[in-house]
Structure formats: structure tokens, C-alpha cells
């Protein structure tokens, strides 16, 4: 089974982007907008625990998730195609000539 690279990339991007957006607003709701630098803020330039930072994080996380999802789907498709080729190439090796051409 092959994965649709574009669909999986879009799904990963949306989930990660919305997840970071919701997490940021969760922190704002309970602790307030601190504006402090976080570990994610070091990776995603401009991200802070603030309303504007939640939007910046949404964009960065979408791009990051999109790229990660595309790489994951591409690698999955590559490895499964190699695995199926290996199975296809070794399918009839243990059979005699008469057993290989049944029909």
C-alpha cells in the first residue's frame, strides 16, 4: 500500500500547527501571556507565549509538520516498494520448472 505523500504531509502539518496553536492558548489561559522565550521559540523564530506568538507558531508548525509528513510518506513508500520487489524477486526460487509454470 502506497501512502499519498501530499495528503499525509498536509495532515501532519494541520495537526502539528493546530496542536501548537491550542497548546499556546492553553498556556495563555492558565498562566497568562508571558512572552518568555521557550525551547520551541528557539526553533521557530518569533514564537512566544502570546496571541501573536500562537499565530507565528501555527505557521511554523504547519510548515514543519508538512515537511516531516512528506519525508515520512516518501520514506515509507520507498521502503515498502523495495520490500515488495524483494518478495517478488524471490517468489519462485524454491520451485522446479514444472511447478513454476502451472496452467
Is the pLDDT at 7 greater than 90, yes or no?
yes
Task: Find cell 501532519 and name the residue.
Answer: 12
Would 23 be classed as within a structural domain?
A: yes
- What pTM was estimated for this model as a whole? 0.76
More confident residue, 27 or 33: 27
**Dist CA 42 CA 12 (whole Å):** 21
Host domain of residue 32: 5-86
**Residue 98: inside a domain, yes or no?**
no
pLDDT for 92 equals: 54
Number of domains in the chain: 1
Question: Per-residue pLDDT tens for 54-78?
Answer: 999 999 999 999 999 999 999 999 9
Confidence (pLDDT) at 23: 95
Q: Judge whether 94 lies within some domain.
A: no
- 95 belongs to a structural domain: no
The confidence score (pLDDT) of residue 33 equals 84
Q: Does 9 map to a domain?
A: yes
Amino acid at each position: 500500500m502506497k501512502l499519498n505523500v501530499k495528503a499525509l504531509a498536509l495532515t501532519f502539518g494541520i495537526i502539528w500547527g493546530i496542536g501548537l496553536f491550542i497548546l499556546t492558548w492553553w498556556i495563555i489561559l492558565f498562566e497568562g501571556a508571558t512572552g518568555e522565550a521557550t525551547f520551541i521559540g528557539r526553533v521557530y523564530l518569533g514564537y512566544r507565549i502570546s496571541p501573536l506568538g500562537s499565530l507565528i507558531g501555527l505557521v511554523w508548525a504547519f510548515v514543519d509538520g508538512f515537511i516531516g509528513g512528506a519525508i515520512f510518506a516518501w520514506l515509507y513508500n520507498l521502503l515498502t516498494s523495495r520490500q515488495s520487489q524483494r518478495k517478488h524477486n524471490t517468489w519462485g526460487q524454491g520451485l522446479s520448472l514444472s511447478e513454476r509454470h502451472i496452467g
